[in-house]
Structure 1
Amino acid sequence: MNFTNKKYILASNSPRRRELLTNLGLPFEVRVKEVHEDFPADLARAEVAEYLAAHKASFYREDLQPEEVIITADTIVCLDDKILNKPYDHAEATRMLTHLSGRSHEVYTGVCLLSQDKSVVFHDVTTVHFRELTRDEIDFYINEYKPFDKAGSYGAQDWLGLVGIERIEGSYFNVMGLPVHRLYEELLVF
């Protein structure tokens, strides 16, 4: 597809999101601002991901040129009704992965497309099923891969995803941080 009629800006430091947009064939540049990821406590899980994506985009609104479209995203991992954010340290990552071990959880990614005159916010959800993980596997993964920048303390594309994920229901790329199939559909009509 030809996406050259607009200038796309990815507002994310995520190498996975950059890789996915590159593979989509979307020309883009990266702009990043420091944004606090706080959200109202009464939001439903899907609303949290969408709220955070829209919140991030709002910081770029004043700087947008007429031909520019900002793309923001936020991924959250949910186990039961608890949101597992990025871990602060080794101990928190260990706790998260121990809780995820042998269970299924949901991954929500909210995305916002924003231009000077239009805004679209959407999300996708994927269910991830983990096999039982040993303490040695969890320690190895945390020590070698340092998943402190990943919601839920893991990356599906990393070693733990390769050995720990039994199956997923939904988009694998959503778990990586960007529901590319939905993004593509939305960009076609944006």
Structure 2
Amino acid sequence: MNWIPEYNFILASKSPRRQELLKSLGIDFQVKTKEVDEIYPPELAPAKIPGYLAEKKANAFADELNNNDMLITADTIVVLNGKVLEKPDDYDHAYEMLSALSGNMHEVITGVCLSSTNKSVTFSALTNVQFKKLTAAEIDYYITNFKPFDKAGAYGIQEWIGSIGISHIEGSFYNVMGLPLQKLYEEIQKF
């Protein structure tokens, strides 16, 4: 029995992590991307930002979907004490972010939008992530060797820093990587 509905799946994401995660669900899909500015209204609550951005990315494809297409768009943010940590600009910015995350619990929120020609559903997932107190040498080693400049909060949970630095999480591990797989599976089935 195949659980996958009969759609032509399109993942609108350049993220190799999202592509790898979607493959792990056994879904055949094609990747299509567009440049979409990731600007959101400043008054938007952090919990609403990823869904807003996932919908914004989906809207860029609105006129291009065919009858049997299902478009998947997503956005992930890291929130520390109510402040959104974007992708770092450079080494110093990444160092500053990881120093702030060190020894603290933060939230990772991923918003996902599923779209077809006649329907759209947006949902999000939240995972709490606890970092141990990181040393300056650990932070430097990670940034120098893994260059996490394409990652919200300046880290990838599946990389070295996650292995040595994260003491525990509450919620979906895959959500922290960029797609809440279990929730995505449920939502595709309901769609």
Shift of 1:4: 5.3
Shift of 1:5: 1.0
Q: 1:127-165 CA deviation, whole Å, 9 max, x = no partner?
A: 000000011110110000000000000000000000000
Q: 1: CA distance between counterparts of 2:190 and 2:132?
A: 40
Q: Residue type matched to 2:161 in 1?
A: L
Alpha carbons 2:78, 2:86 under 8 Å: kept: yes
TM-score between the two structures when normalised by the length of structure 2: 0.98
Q: Residue type matched to 1:118 in 2?
A: K
Shift of 1:2: 3.5
Name 1:183's counterpart in structure 2: 184
Name 2:22's counterpart in structure 1: 21
Superposed, 1:13-92 pairs within 5 Å as 13-92=14-93
CA RMSD of aligned residues (A): 0.7
Name 1:117's counterpart in structure 2: 118
Percent identical: 53
Alpha carbons 2:127, 2:176 under 8 Å: kept: yes
Q: 2: CA distance between counterparts of 1:57 and 1:162?
A: 33
SS at the partner of 1:39? coil
SS at the partner of 1:147? coil
Counting matched residue pairs gives: 190
Q: 1:53-97 CA deviation, whole Å, 9 max, x = no partner?
A: 000000011000110011000000000010001001000000000
Q: 2: CA distance between counterparts of 1:3 and 1:118?
A: 18
Q: 2: CA distance between counterparts of 1:4 and 1:181?
A: 16
SS at the partner of 1:174? helix
Q: 2: CA distance between counterparts of 1:26 and 1:66?
A: 18
Q: Residue type matched to 2:24 in 1?
A: N
TM-score between the two structures when normalised by the length of structure 1: 0.98
Query: Structure 1: which 5+ residue stretches go unaligned?
Result: none
Name 2:131's counterpart in structure 1: 130
Shift of 1:3: 2.1
Name 1:166's counterpart in structure 2: 167
Q: 1: CA distance between counterparts of 2:165 and 2:30?
A: 34
SS at the partner of 1:123? strand
Q: Residue type matched to 1:61 in 2?
A: A
Query: Structure 2: which 5+ residue stretches go unaligned?
Result: none
Q: 1:147-186 CA deviation, whole Å, 9 max, x = no partner?
A: 0000000000000000000000000000000001110000
Alpha carbons 1:4, 1:27 under 8 Å: kept: no
Q: Residue type matched to 2:62 in 1?
A: R
Shift of 1:189: 1.4
